[in-house]
C-alpha cells in the first residue's frame, strides 16, 4: 500500500523545530491541551467543587464467577456538588491464580448492558472479559449512558445535572458528553490505582467509536494511563480532520452537538481554521502507548486518516528517542503493526470492536508493558 503523504493535509505543526522533550512536557503539551479544551472537547466546569466517593456494592468469587478464575467487584462512584449528586457504577473482574498485581484494561462501553454484561449471561465479543482475564489482565467496564446520557437532554442529566447554573446556557468552552465520559474514566482510574491487586503502572483505557474518542481524550489529559486503545474512533477521535473522508466536523457537530463544547461547531466546513488536528491528540500520549484500529468497510471513520494521524504523531515519540508507528505505509488488512509505541491494524469488516481487535490490543499491551 501507499506511503502516507502528510504534506497535502496542511496540518498545524506539532511543535517548532529544535524543541526539547522538556519544553514539550512543560509548555507545548499544556498549550495543546488548552486548545483541545477550548475548541473541541470543552473544559470541566468548576472541578474543585466536585467530591467523589466510592462504595463496593458487590464483591464475589467462586465457581459461579468465570468458573472460579476471577474476583468480581461492582463499584458505585458518587460525584457530589452543592447538595446534588450523581452515581454511576463500574464492574471489575480481577484474575485469580495469577501473580498480582496485574495490568488492567478499562473499557468505556457505548453500547447497552448486553455488551458489558457483569453476569456474563451474554458473552459479547465487544467486551470479551473472559479472554481479557485469561490473558492475565483485569477487565473493568463502565457504560457511557450511566455517566452522562448519549442524547441531547439539555445538559440536565447524568454528571451534567450537578451544574444547574449551566442548564439554560452552557458556556461555549464547557464540556459536553465526551468530556464527562473522559473525566469519569479518570475517577475510575483513581480507584483502580489504589487497588493492591492491580499494577498502577499498567492501566489502559479502551473505547470504540464515540467511546474511542473519549478514551483518547481521557488518556491525552491523564498521564497516569499507560495505554489508550481506539477502535474505529474516526472523526474527532484518531482520524485527522484536515483532508478527511467520510464524516466531517460539520456532520458530527450537527448530529452530536452535545458531545463537544459549543465552540467546535465554528470549524464545520472550516477545518483549516481549527488550531489543532487529531495527530496532536495522539501526540499528547507520547511516549506512552497508543493503539489505533480501523475496519476496511468503515469509510465514515476513514482508516487512511486514522493511520495518517499515527504517522504524524510519531514525531512526538521521536522527541523522546522512541518509535511511534513502525512503518509509514498503510498496512494491508490483517497485518498489524505492533513494534512501535503506536500500534495500528486494519481489519476486514465493518464498524465494530471484535475478538480479532482484542487479541491484537492484548498482544500489543503485553509486548510493551512487560
Ligand atoms: C456515528 C458517529 C461517529 C461514531 C459512531 C459511533 O454515528 O457519526 O462519529 O462515533 O457514531 O459511536 O458508533
User: Which residue puts its alpha carbon closest to atom 8 of ligand 1?
Assistant: 252
Q: What is the pLDDT of residue 1?
A: 57
Q: What are the respective helix, strand and coil percentages of the chain, to the nearest 5? A: 35, 25, 40
Q: What percent of the chain has pLDDT over 90?
A: 97
Of 80, 125, 186, 351, the catalytic one is 351
DSSP secondary structure of 230-244: EES--BTTTB-STT-
Tell me whether residue 2 is in a domain.
Answer: no
What's residue 3's pLDDT?
80
**Residue 198 · residue 101 · CB < 8 Å:** yes
Residue 18 included in any domain:
yes
User: How far are the Cα atoms of 14, 135, 280, 319 from residue 20, in angstroms, in the given order?
Assistant: 13, 38, 17, 7
SS (H, E, C) 138-167: EEEEEEHHHHCCCCCCCCCCHHHHHCHHHC
pLDDT of residue 271: 98
First CA to last CA across the chain, in angstroms? 32
pLDDT of residue 4: 84
For position 359, which CATH number holds? 3.40.50.1820
pLDDT, mean over the chain: 97
Known catalytic membership, residue 351: yes
71 in any annotated domain: no
Residue 147 inside a domain? The answer is: yes
Among the listed residues 345, 290, 346, the one whose alpha carbon sits nearest the alpha carbon of residue 322: 290
Higher pLDDT, 1 or 340: 340
Residue 252 Cβ inside 6 Å of ligand 1? The answer reads yes
Q: Check if the beta carbon of residue 303 is closer than 8 Å to that of residue 295.
A: yes
In a domain? residue 137? yes
pLDDT digits (tens, 9 = 90+) for 91-117: 999 999 999 999 999 999 999 999 999
Q: Which residues contact 245 (CB under 8 A, 6 or more apart)?
A: 299, 302, 304, 305
ipTM: 0.97
Q: Is the pLDDT of residue 33 over 80?
A: yes
Average pLDDT over residues 290-304: 98
Q: Which of 124, 209, 233, 294 does the annotation list as catalytic? A: 209
81 falls within a domain: no
Q: Is residue 55 in a domain?
A: no
Q: Residue 22: which domain range?
A: 7-49+95-369
150, 210, 298: residue to mutate for ligand 1 pocket, most atoms within 8 A of CB: 210
In total, how many domains does the chain have?
A: 1
Q: Residue 205 has which C-alpha cell?
A: 483505557
The confidence score (pLDDT) of residue 185 equals 99
pLDDT in tens, 355-370: 999 999 999 999 999 8
Which among 145, 140, 223, 149 has a CA at the least distance from the CA of 188? 140
**Residue 322 forms part of a structural domain:** yes
309 lines ligand 1 (CB under 6 A): no
341 C-beta closer than 6 A to ligand 1: no
Closest CA to 185 of 241, 295, 278, 109: 109
Is 144 near ligand 1, meaning CB less than 6 Å away? no
Amino acid at each position: 500500500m501507499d506511503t502516507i503523504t502528510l504534506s497535502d493535509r496542511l496540518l498545524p505543526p506539532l511543535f517548532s523545530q529544535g524543541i526539547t522533550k522538556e519544553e514539550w512536557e512543560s509548555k507545548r503539551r499544556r498549550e495543546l491541551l488548552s486548545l483541545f479544551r477550548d475548541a473541541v472537547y470543552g473544559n470541566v466546569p468548576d472541578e474543585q467543587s466536585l467530591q467523589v466517593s466510592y462504595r463496593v456494592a458487590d464483591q464475589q468469587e467462586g465457581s459461579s464467577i468465570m468458573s472460579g478464575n476471577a474476583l468480581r467487584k461492582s463499584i458505585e462512584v458518587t460525584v457530589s456538588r452543592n447538595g446534588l449528586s450523581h452515581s454511576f457504577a463500574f464492574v471489575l473482574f480481577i484474575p485469580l491464580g495469577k501473580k498480582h498485581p496485574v495490568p488492567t484494561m478499562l473499557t468505556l462501553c457505548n453500547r447497552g448492558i448486553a455488551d458489558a454484561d457483569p453476569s456474563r449471561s451474554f458473552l459479547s465479543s465487544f467486551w470479551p472479559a473472559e479472554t481479557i482475564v485469561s490473558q492475565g489482565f483485569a477487565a473493568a467496564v463502565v457504560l457511557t449512558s450511566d455517566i452522562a446520557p448519549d442524547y441531547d437532554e439539555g445538559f440536565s442529566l447524568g454528571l451534567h445535572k450537578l451544574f444547574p447554573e449551566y442548564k439554560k446556557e452552557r458556556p461555549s468552552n464547557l464540556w459536553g458528553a465526551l468530556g464527562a465520559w473522559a473525566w469519569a474514566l479518570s475517577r475510575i482510574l483513581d480507584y483502580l490505582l489504589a487497588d493492591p491487586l492491580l499494577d498502577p503502572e499498567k492501566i489502559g483505557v479502551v473505547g470504540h467509536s464515540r467511546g474511542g474518542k473519549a478514551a483518547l481524550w481521557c488518556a491525552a489529559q491523564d498521564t497516569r494511563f499507560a495505554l489508550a486503545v481506539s477502535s474505529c474512533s474516526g472523526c474527532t477521535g484518531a482520524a485527522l480532520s484536515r483532508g478527511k473522508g467520510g464524516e466531517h466536523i460539520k456532520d458530527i457537530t450537527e448530529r452530536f452537538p452535545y458531545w463537544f463544547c459549543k465552540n467546535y461547531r465554528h470549524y464545520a466546513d472550516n477545518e483549516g481554521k481549527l488550531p489543532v488536528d487529531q495527530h496532536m491528540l495522539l501526540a499528547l500520549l507520547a511516549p506512552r502507548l497508543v493503539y489505533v484500529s480501523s475496519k476496511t468497510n468503515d469509510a465514515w471513520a476513514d482508516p487512511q486518516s486514522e493511520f495518517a494521524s499515527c504517522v504524524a504523531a510519531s514525531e512526538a515519540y521521536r522527541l523522546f528517542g522512541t518509535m511511534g508507528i513502525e512503518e509509514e505505509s498503510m498496512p494491508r488488512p490483517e497485518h498489524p503493526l505492533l513494534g512501535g509505541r503506536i500500534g495500528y491494524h486494519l481489519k476486514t469488516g465493518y464498524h465494530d470492536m471484535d475478538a480479532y481487535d482484542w487479541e491484537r490490543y492484548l498482544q500489543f499491551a503485553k509486548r510493551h508493558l512487560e
